[in-house]
Amino acid sequence: ALDRAGLRYGPSFQGIDHLWRGDGAAIAQLRDPADLIAGADRNGYLVHPALLDSCLQALSGALDPADPADPRTTTYLPVGVGRFTVLAERAVPRWALAVCGAPDPAEHEISGGRVVLFDAAGDRVGEIGGMTLRRLELPGAQDPVSESLLAVGWEAAADDPDRKHPAADAGAGWWLLFADLGGVCHELRSMLADGGGAGVTVTAGERYRRLDQDHYEIDPSRMEDVAALLAELRQTRPAPCAGVVHAWSLDAELAEDGEPGPPAASPDHACVSVLHLVQALARAGWNATPRLVLVTRGVHRVGAEEAPPAVAQSAMWGLARVLAMEHGELRPAIVDLDPDLGGEEARCLFDELLRADRDEQLVLRGGQRYVPRLGPWNPPEPADGAWARRPLDAGAGGNHRILAVRPGSLDSLTPVLWQRARPGPGQVEIEIAAAGLNFSDVLKAMDVYPGLPPGVVALGAECAGRVVAVGEGVDGHPVGEAVLAVAPSSMAGFATTSAQLVAPKPRALSVEQAAGTPIAFLTAVYGLEHLAHLATGETVLIHSATGGVGLAALQVARRNGAEVFATAGTEEKRELLRRLGVRHVMDSRSLRFADEVRDLTAGRGVDVVLNSLSGEALTRSLSLLAPNGRFVEIGKQDIHRNSHLGMELFKHNRSLFAVDLEHSIADRPDLIAGLLREVVRGFDTGDFTALPVTSFPYSAAAEAFGQLARARHTGKIVLRAERPAAVAVPPGGHPVRAEATYLITGGLGALGRETARYLVDQGARHLALLGRHGPPADAGAVLDELRSLGAEIRVHRADVSRFDDVTRVLADIDASMPPLAGVIHAAGVLDDGLLLELDQERFRGVTAPKVAGAWHLHRATMGRDLDFMVLFSSAAALLGSPSQGNYAAANAFLDSLAVYRRWLGLPGLSINWGPWSEIGLAARPDRGGALSAFGIASVRPDAGIAALDRLLPTSTAQACVLPLDREKLRVAAESGLLPRLLTSLRDRPDTRSAEGRQRSTDIRRKLLAVEPGRRRTAMLTQHCTATVARVLKLDESRVDPTTPLANMGFDSLMSLELRKRLETSLDVELLATVVWRFPTIEVLVPFLAERMGIALAADPAAGSAPAGGDSPPDADRERPAEDGAADLGRLSASELESLLVAKMTQMSERGLG
C-alpha cells in the first residue's frame, strides 16, 4: 500500500523484516540496524531516524482498511504526536507494537495512534503516543470511478494546408473497389481513370462471375468467391494493386417495422465480406500488399450534428479497429463520409486515398476531417423541461415531496418522486397527514429566500401524522402514535425527523389544526417568553396579528397577562382582532400606527414589539420601545439587506433579538424540543387553542401558496396530504422504482446477476431474467437472496436473437407483472480468434445475441414508456482487441444504437466496459488479456456497479469504463502496442492548466538559455526560493536555501502546497513525500532539475541529465536520485540532521501545543 501511494522508501528506510496484523494492531520485527545504517552513522542519536521511521511504518499495518484495494483509504501518515518517551540512553528498537483505530472513509484523520518500542530482549525502550494520522493525498488522486469514466470525442485532424494531390498518384497501380449500390465507387473509378489509374469494381450477387473486364460479381457469404477473384486478378493484372476500397457498408439498412432487409443489407453482411477479404488478401501471395480502406456514411455524430447515426453500418468500425491491430501490413483505414455531401462524396474519398498523412479512423463533416479521441466523461447538463412523470408506487415504499420544479413559478409546484429516509438513532419516521405552510416556504418556492442559493429546495417545516418507524434508542413514540412535529421537508408523503422534535397530538386538535401549530406557537413562545420575558402588566405590540404567528402571539400575551397593541392589513382583519378582544388595533400598511401607539401610551411606548414589518415600519416600531424594552425581530429582509439602525435607539437598556427559528431548530434542537413540550402543555392546560386553519389538498399547492403570498388568509394555511397518481422525476434522479418491472437479458450470468442485485438494492421489486438456458448451479443462491429481500424474480428461457422469443417474453411480463420500465441488455458470448481463423458461423455466433438481440429489444419496446435501456458494450469496440473482431463489431453496433435511440427521444445508454475481474466474459485468464496489456486494469464488480449507478440517471448515450494503469500505458506506447485512442491518455496532459503549462515553458526556456553551471543552478534555486516564500507568505530575502524547511515553519499543509506549486510551475510530477525526502531548497533543486531533464552541471559526469536536454524524462522511469536521497549512506551529516528535523517536526506540529 505504501508503494502504491508513492512512498518508495530507499534501502535504509526499509527496516521492517516481518509484520503481524491483528484487529487494530500490528507487531513489526525490525531488521538489524547494522544491515540498514553505516557504522559511523549509528551513533549520536537517541533513536536513529531510519529505525524510528520503520517503527512508524508499522502503523500502516494496524489500520483496518475500508477498501484494501484502494490505497487512498489505507495510506495515512503521522502529522501529530502527543508525547515521545525514550526510556534508555540510546534506544535500539528491534520490535514495534503499533495500535490504531479503524479509519473512517468519511474522515481524513485518525486520532489516538500509539507505537511502543522494544529492544531485542523484549524490554520496553520507548513510546510514541497520542498520534494523529492524516490520509495521504496522492498526486492527482481522484474518485476512482470518475477516473475510469471516459468518453469519445471528435477533434480536427492535423492537416498540412500546402499538401498537394498530384493526379499522377492515381496512376500508381490499380484499385479494387467493392462497390456500393449508390454509385460512390463508380464515381471513384471514373476519377481514378481520369488520373491515369484504373479501378476494378466488385458487386454482391448470388455467385462468382466476371461481368466484364473491370467488373466482377461474388457471393459475399462465400470465402471461395473472394479467393477466386483475387487469384484471377493476379493472373490478369500484373501491375501492383494500389489499394482496396470496401464500400458495401453503405448499403446496409435496418427496418423499424419488420425484420432486417435482405441478407445483402443486413448489418453484419459487410463485416463478413471484409472478414473474407482480409483472409483472401493474406493468402493471395501478392508481392506488394495493397492498402485497405473501409467506407461508411453517417455512422458518427460530430458536434451538434442533427442527422441520426447510420446504425446498420456501425459494426464495421469495431471490426476496423481490430483489423488495424492484427493486419498492420494492410495499412487499414476507415472513413465515415458526410451524409450531407451528396455528389461530392466520391471526390472527398478520392482525396483521402491520395493523402500522404493517413489517419486510421476518420470522419468527414462539413469539409473538415475529424479523428476520435478519448477524454474524461462529463455528465451532460439536464435539458430544460426534462422532468418526466411516472406513476407513484402503490405500495408502502413510495414517497414524494411537493417541490417547485421551476423555482420562481408557483404554478410549477408538483409532487416529485423521493426516497423514504429510514430513521437512524434517535429519529422517527412519520406518515404525513397534513403539513403547515409558512411564508418561508413561499419565498423558497419563489427562489428568493434570503441566504439560500437559487434552485429547487425542500419545502415544509411542520406536520401532523402518525409514527410509522422509529430508530434505535427511541422509546417515547410508539409506532402508530398520532403526533405533531417539527420536520424538515415535511411537505411530503413521509418525513423523518429527530424524536426530540415530535410530540403527541393534543386530542382537541384535528390533524389540520395540529399541522399548523408548531412553527407559529414556537415562534411566539420563543420570542415573547424565552427571549423577551414578557411579564404581567407589560405592553406588547404585535404586527400582522391575524397571521399564524400573530394569532399565536395573542394567546401567549394573554396567558402572560400583557396588554396587546396589534396591527393588521385590512379592515376585515382588524375587525377580527377586535372580536378577539384586542382593544388597540391599528393599520399595519400605514406608518400612522407609530403615532397611535404613542398617543395611547402617553408617549411612553411599549415594553415589547414582535415585529415582522420591514423598512421604515421597522424603524418606527423600534422607536416605540419604552426604556428597558425588548424588540423581537422575526422578519429576515432587513437583516439580509444589512439595513442600518441608529444606536441611539437602544439607549436606556433597550435591546433587540433576531429570531431565525429555522437555524435554531438545526443548531439548538434541545432548546426547541423544550419549547415544543411547553406548547403542547399549553394546549393541555387550556392556555392555547387551535388557530383558524384553511386547508388545501397537495394537488392545490399552487393555489395555497398563492393565497399566502397575497396575504388573503387569517390564521394558518395547511396542505392535506394525498397520494398522487403520478409524480415528477427530477432530471438526473434515479430511475429505479418498486412498482415497475425490469428485464435483464443474460440475466442468469454472473454479470447479469450482479446487475439484478444492484437493481434490487435500488428499490426494484420485479425482475425478469432472460437466458438461453436455465439458471446455472451457482445462480440459485443469488436468486433466493433477492427473493428474500422482497423481489419478484421471474426466469424466462429465451433466445434474444430471435424476435419471436423477445415478443413472447414481453407478452408474459404484460400479462403477469407490473409495466416494463427498463431493459438492461447484458447478453453476450465470446468466441475469440484472429481474423484469419474466424469463419462466417463463428462471426455471427458472437454478433447475433448482441446485434440482433439489441435490435429486437429496440423494436419490441418502441411503444413503451421506458425509463432506461442500457446496452452492455465493450472497450474492444473502441480500442480494438486482437482476436476479438467479431466481439468488437457487435459492440460497436450497440454503441451506435444507443445514440440512435437518444436521437429518437428514447432512453439509450451503451457502456463500453473494460474487462471485469471475478465476473463477466473477460474474467477468465484467457479472456480480456489483450486489453490489460494496453494498461486497462480490470473493473472490480463494486466499481463497475458504482459506474453504472453514476451513468444510469444521466442522458448520456455512450460512456467507457476503463480503469487505467499508467505504467502499462507507457510501456505499451514505447512498444507500439497502445491503441491510438489511448495515446492522449497516457500522460494526462489535461491535468495541468494552460496557465501552468505556459509558466513551465517560460521557466524551462530561461534555464536552457543559460549555460549549465552556477548561473543555471542559481536560477532554479531562485525560482524555488520564491515559491517557498510565497507559501510561507514571507519576503524572499528571509528564505535561506540551506535551512531545513521544517525550521522555517513548514507543516504538512504547507508541504502539500509547495509540492502542488512546483508540479504546476515546472510541469513535473512529484511524490507526496518530496519535501520530507529533500528537506532544504539546496538539496531539492538538483532533484527537480533531473525531473525536468535539465543539466545543472557543465560536466555530464557530475550526475545531472545531459546538457541541453529539453524534453523531460518519462514521469514513471527509474528514480535513482530520489532513492539515493532516501539512502542514509549517501547523505551528509548536515543533510541527515535536516531530514530528522523535518520528520520530527511533521510528527509533532499538531500535538505538542
Residue 984 within any structural domain of the chain: no
**582 & 530 share domain:** yes
- Across 762-786, average pLDDT: 88
Closest alpha carbon to 754 in 826, 672, 676, 652? 826
Q: Please indicate, yes or no, whether the overall pTM of this predicted structure exceeds 0.75.
A: no
DSSP string, 832-861: -B-TTT--HHHHHHHHIIIIIHHHHHHHHT
**503 & 593 share domain:** no
Residue 383 within any structural domain of the chain: no
**346 & 403 share domain:** no
**865 & 750 share domain:** yes
**796 & 940 share domain:** yes
**683 & 797 share domain:** no
Q: Please state the domain count of the chain.
A: 6
List, edge to edge, every strand of the sheet that includes 655-658: 584-587, 563-568, 539-542, 606-611, 625-633, 655-658
pLDDT for res 314? 95
Residue 969 within any structural domain of the chain: no
CATH of the domain at 66: 3.10.129.120
Out of 111, 138, 165, pick the residue that ends a domain: 138
pLDDT digits (tens, 9 = 90+) for 832-842: 888 888 999 99
Rounded to whole angstroms, the Cα distance separating 787 from 780 reads: 11
pLDDT for res 170? 55
Structural domain boundaries enclosing 214: 155-376
Angle between helices 780-788 and 750-761 (to 10 degrees): 10
Residue 460 within any structural domain of the chain: yes
pLDDT for res 667? 86
- Across 655-667, average pLDDT: 90
Closest alpha carbon to 737 in 759, 770, 769? 759
Residue 418 within any structural domain of the chain: yes
Out of 461-475, 544-558, 743-757, 774-788, least confident range = 774-788
Cell numbers given for 965: 494503469
pLDDT for res 36? 64
**526 & 583 share domain:** yes
- Across 909-917, average pLDDT: 91
pLDDT digits (tens, 9 = 90+) for 879-909: 888 788 999 999 999 999 999 999 998 999 9
Residue 374 CA to its chain's centroid (Å): 18
**500 & 567 share domain:** no
- Residue at grid coordinates 508499522: 58
Residue 990: band (very low, low, confident or very high) from pLDDT cuts 50, 70, 90: very low
pLDDT digits (tens, 9 = 90+) for 480-512: 999 999 999 999 999 999 999 999 999 999 999
Rounded to whole angstroms, the Cα distance separating 420 from 495 reads: 7
- Dihedral, CA of residue 980, residue 981, residue 982 and residue 984, to nearest 10: 100
- Across 612-618, average pLDDT: 91
DSSP string, 994-1043: HHHHHHHHHHHHHHHTS-TTHHHHHHHHHHHHHHHHHHHT--GGG--TTS
Residue 389 within any structural domain of the chain: no
Residue 1152 within any structural domain of the chain: no
pLDDT for res 450? 76
pLDDT digits (tens, 9 = 90+) for 787-833: 998 899 999 999 999 999 999 999 999 999 999 999 999 999 988 88
Has residue 300 got a pLDDT over 70? yes
Tell me the residue type at 682.
G
Has residue 327 got a pLDDT over 60? yes
Residue 11: band (very low, low, confident or very high) from pLDDT cuts 50, 70, 90: low
CATH of the domain at 818: 3.40.50.720
**557 & 416 share domain:** no
- Across 360-388, average pLDDT: 82
Has residue 1126 got a pLDDT over 50? no
**262 & 365 share domain:** yes
**107 & 181 share domain:** no
Residue 711: band (very low, low, confident or very high) from pLDDT cuts 50, 70, 90: confident
Residue 222 burial (10 A CB sphere; 0-12, 13-18, 19+): middle
Residue 263 within any structural domain of the chain: yes
How many Cα neighbours within 13 Å face the side chain of 79? 20
pLDDT for res 1150? 39
Rounded to whole angstroms, the Cα distance separating 55 from 44 reads: 19
CATH of the domain at 425: 3.90.180.10
pLDDT for res 930? 47
- Across 1116-1132, average pLDDT: 39
**347 & 212 share domain:** yes
Closest alpha carbon to 415 in 402, 396, 405, 427? 402
- Across 1073-1079, average pLDDT: 78
CATH of the domain at 222: 3.40.50.11460
pLDDT for res 1072? 54
